[in-house]
Amino acid sequence: MRTNKKAQIRLAENIMVIIIFVFILVFGIAFFTVYQKQTSGTKHKEREEKAASSVLAKIMALPELKCLSSTGQEEVNCFDLYKVKVLNAENHTQPEFIDHFYDIMLESKVSLETLKSEIDEIFTIYENEPVVKHDTLTKKMPVFLYDPINEQKYYAILKLDYYYVR
């Protein structure tokens, strides 16, 4: 009778140890998963931020947008109005057009808005919105818009809506 009671106590002890062990294990895994999710989420966001900045830098360097002085020197942060107009007039949904710029602008919308000038217009340079559910990162950059006919410069804002899948 005494041996039986001792065995019961030992069994209960073992069960308790197993329960505590499983509890710690589950808690540990849950904690690790949440932490990993948060870290990878932050890293993903950082990576997308970098990618968006990279896209913006590539746009700023695009020969199809930049204005050159009469001596062939490039002008900093300056876009040629007629180059912008050519891109604005393009059919942005045409696969050929998207293919041409995809390596540079990926999935994004690039537009240019003039500020307080005679040219009161929003020019769309590129538009490629993904069909799947996505988030948007917006980046803006002040630029000059140069009109080679009137030899005038206007202030404008280059806006990049960078789409990424979470």
Partner 1 sequence: MYTDPRKKAITVQLSWIYILIAGAMILIFFSRVIVYVQGYGEKTITDNIRDQLNDAFVKIRADRLFFQQLQTPKDFKLERCDFGKMYYKIGRSSLKTQGIYSPSYLKPSQEQLLLWTLPWEMPYWIDNMLYLTSPEVLYVFIEDQWGYVKELLEDPTYGLPANISRVVISHEDFSRFVSTKQKNVFKEIIQKIDSFYKVKFVMVDAATDFGEGQDLQLTFPEEVMRKTDTAINILPDEGYGGLDGAGEIQFFDVVGAEFTPGKTRPYLGRSLVFAAIFAQDAQQYECNLQYFMQRFKDVNQFTQKRAEMLYESYPPEHECHYYIEKFIESQLLQKQCIEIQDAIDNLSNADTFKELYEMSRQIEDENYNLVRYRYCAGIY
Interface ranges with partner 1 (CB under 8 A) = 50, 54, 57-58, 60-61, 63-64, 66, 68, 70, 72, 74, 80, 82-83, 85-86, 89, 100, 103, 148-149
Q: Is 148 helix (H, G, I), strand (E, B) or coil?
A: coil
Give the residue with the Cβ less far from partner 1, 12 or 14.
14
> Based on CB atoms, which residue is closest to partner 1, 4 or 70?
70
Q: Do 124 and 110 meet the contact criterion of CB atoms below 8 Å apart?
A: yes
CB of 141 to partner 1, least distance (A): 12
Asked if 128 contacts 108 with a C-beta cutoff of 8 angstroms, the reply is yes
The least CB distance from residue 27 to partner 1, in Å, is 19
Strand order in the sheet with 122-127: 66-68, 74-80, 135-147, 152-164, 108-114, 122-127
Give the shortest CB-139-to-partner 1 separation in angstroms: 14
